[in-house]
Amino acid sequence: VEERQPTPIETAVKEPQATPADATEDNAAAEARRLAEWHRRFAQAAATEERRQRRVWEDALALAKRLKATQEAEKEAQEAEAERHKRDVAHQWRCISKMNAAEQKERARLRTEAEKARATRAEGAAGGLAVISSDEEEAECPPAPKAARVQSPEEEWQERLRRAEVED
């Protein structure tokens, strides 16, 4: 087996020798690669920071939305409580009005009965019958209760409610 001989062209072309100009080019290329690597690293760090900031902002936005929803729910609850209170007060006044009407009706009935009793006694006295004493009359129809201290509508309502429960 014979060894291959280089051709005249191959012999003419020699391997280039490193020259100072080549070293400068190599240094410039290496510097460009280092610079490109630094740019890549800075861009990567900036992208990482941007992703972190985006997560922080998304979390803050989610918290803000939850806070707003909570505040709206609290506001609605307060409005519902105010409406419920308004209905309760209206109901209390209706109850008080009904109780007042019932009391007035009862007083009118008692007055009518007392007047009938007086008229009957007056007729009886004219006919020679015994006259009923005022003590007996009071036992028959007790006097109206004296006005107690001035009460607020709420206190009055509570008192009437308590009396109604006792009567039942």
pLDDT tens track for 21-47: 777 888 888 999 999 999 999 999 999
The residue to which tokens 């709206």 are assigned:
72
Domain ranges for the chain, please list them: 20-124
- Cα–Cα distance for residue pair 141/120, rounded to 1 Å: 15
Mean pLDDT of the chain: 83
pLDDT tens track for 75-122: 999 999 999 999 999 999 999 999 999 999 999 999 999 999 888 888
What's the alpha-carbon Rg for the chain, to the nearest Å?
54
Q: What tokens does 156 get?
A: 């009055």
pTM for the whole thing?
0.37
Contact residues for 124 (Cβ-Cβ < 8 A; gap 6+): 130, 131
CA 129 to chain centre: 75
pLDDT tens track for 44-61: 999 999 999 999 999 999
pLDDT category, 64, cuts 50, 70, 90? Answer: very high
